[in-house]
Amino acid sequence: MLKQTEGSHAVAEAVALCRPEVICAYPITPQTHIVEGLGELVKSGQLQNCEYINVESEFAALSVAIGASAAGARAYTATSSQGLLFMAEAVYNASGLGLPIVMTLGNRAIGAPINIWNDHSDAMALRDAGWIQLFAETNQEAVDLHIQAFRLAEILSCPVMVCVDGFILTHAVERIDVPEQAEVDAFLPAYEPIQVLDPKDPVSIGAMVGPEAFMEVRYLEHHKQMRALDLIPELAAEFKAMFGRESGGLVRPYRLEDAETVVVAMGSVNGTIKDVIDDRRAEGDKVGALSICSFRPFPLEEVRAHLLGVRRIVVLEKSLAVGLGGVLASHVRMALRGRAQLVYTLIAGLGGRPILKKSLSAFLSKVETEPHADVHFLDLKNDVVERELVRASQQRRSGPTAENVLKHIGSPMAGLV
């Protein structure tokens, strides 16, 4: 049903349509509205045959989901930021055990300094934890990806993380088509586990594995993700056939024909990027965009194919690999191995810094002059950085950096509007 609703609420409805049997809830901004919405659906009886468990930490949230999933229940949880890091050990465990848990990640920065706003640092921190990571571009896609995620997770017996930009999507009220129960039931069959704790047929799950077998077990985990490279587009196509809209898939090209410059990015910022592309195309600039929906598995071949013949690639990413630059950019470079294409890393939107059309457009103009620098920071307040560097160089006890920077900047409202 088409409705004007909050992204989080729509995601909660979509998850409920997937008939989860165990939901673990622990609050962290900006994921809270999702688990609150699910709590309401369970308490009101709209979502039946579901155990909704208020746990004491994110570590417990995913651990309860692990137990539930291993015992044959369809399990779901949601988190953000510090919460994902707090459950990090269980994140690896869930994938290592091959449990098809689905988790929403309301993407948010990681402290210190503490920051509740959106970026992709959390997802990037656990990119190699063995989970499939899908990034939603819109709230419609966030809804649709959850439905696909359960199916994908259960076919492969591999956990899936659906990454939804915190606040920008989770708290946005938009027009969203929330599917009907019968449609979802037709797309997503009941969970049939490949392994289950059952007194009738006892198995040991989670035994110690030594050097003689560990490599093979790990390789098979990798193999699942390689299979996912085929499965993700198949499921997206099946989804389109059934629901009538494009959602998911590995990558999504936008106006790549004859493009000399292509912006590569993940998540909701692709909306802003598309507006910039349209504006610049209208002025005759040959630009396009490539949205990455599946970050894990990373679609090296598809990225390589779509960027064929492109002169320069701007990888806009909402996370910073401190001491290196960009995570996504290094992935794109791997996809382009052996080719002489210019790849620029554009770090943007850290800690919720708005990514503005005009700033992005200005950067695209600048990049056409082919600057030498590889890593750029969009709308970095260089004057503030300089002032703090000078101040810190003048005294040993210069104090906490974050507080000093805040003093240089002044009113916090200045950054909001």
Q: Which of residues 246-285 bind another protein (CB under 8 A)?
A: 268-272, 274-275
Q: Which of residues 317-376 bind another protein (CB under 8 A)?
A: 352, 354-357
DSSP 412: G
Residue 169 or 315 with smaller CB distance to another protein: 169
Residue 405 CB neighbour total at 10 angstroms:
15
Q: Are 158 and 95 in contact (CB under 8 A)?
A: yes
Q: In whole angstroms, give the CA distance from residue 345 to residue 403.
A: 28
- CB atoms inside a 10 Å sphere around CB 386: 11
Give yes or no for residue 386 binding another protein (CB under 8 A).
no
Q: What sign has the CA pseudo-torsion 164, 165, 168, 170?
A: positive
**Radius of gyration of the chain measured on its C-alpha atoms:** 22
Give whichever of 118 and 345 is closer to another protein, judged by the CB atom. 118
Closest to another protein by CB, 2 vs 241, is 2
- Spatial contact of 58 and 84, defined as CB atoms under 8 Å apart: yes
Q: Would you say 97 or 293 has its CB closer to another protein?
A: 97
Of 308, 292, 223, 305, the residue nearest 260 (C-alpha) = 308
Least distance in angstroms from the C-beta of 329 to another protein: 21
Which residue stretch of 90-98, 300-308, 317-325, 363-371 sits at the interface with another protein (rule: CB under 8 A)? 90-98
- Under the criterion CB under 8 A, does residue 209 sit at the interface with another protein? yes
User: CB under 8 A: which stretch of 209-217, 238-246, 309-317, 321-329 binds another protein?
Assistant: 209-217
**Residue 312 phi, psi (nearest 5):** -135, 145
- Binding to another protein (CB under 8 A): which residues in 5-44? 6, 21-22, 24, 30
Nearer to another protein, 117 or 298 (CB): 117
Binding flag, residue 409, another protein (CB under 8 A)? no
With CB under 8 A as the contact rule, the residue among 204, 369, 393, 395 that binds another protein is 204
Q: Pattern of binders to another protein over 50-89, x per CB under 8 A?
A: xx-xxxxx-xx--xxxxxxxxxxx-x-------------x
Closer to another protein by Cβ: residue 278 or 301: 278
> How far, in Å, CA of 150 to CA of 75, rounded?
9
Size of the site for another protein (CB under 8 A): 75
Interacting residue with another protein among 114, 186, 194, 205 (CB under 8 A):
205
Q: Is the dihedral of CA 27, 29, 32, 34 positive or negative?
A: negative
Nearest-angstrom CA–CA distance, 273 and 262: 10
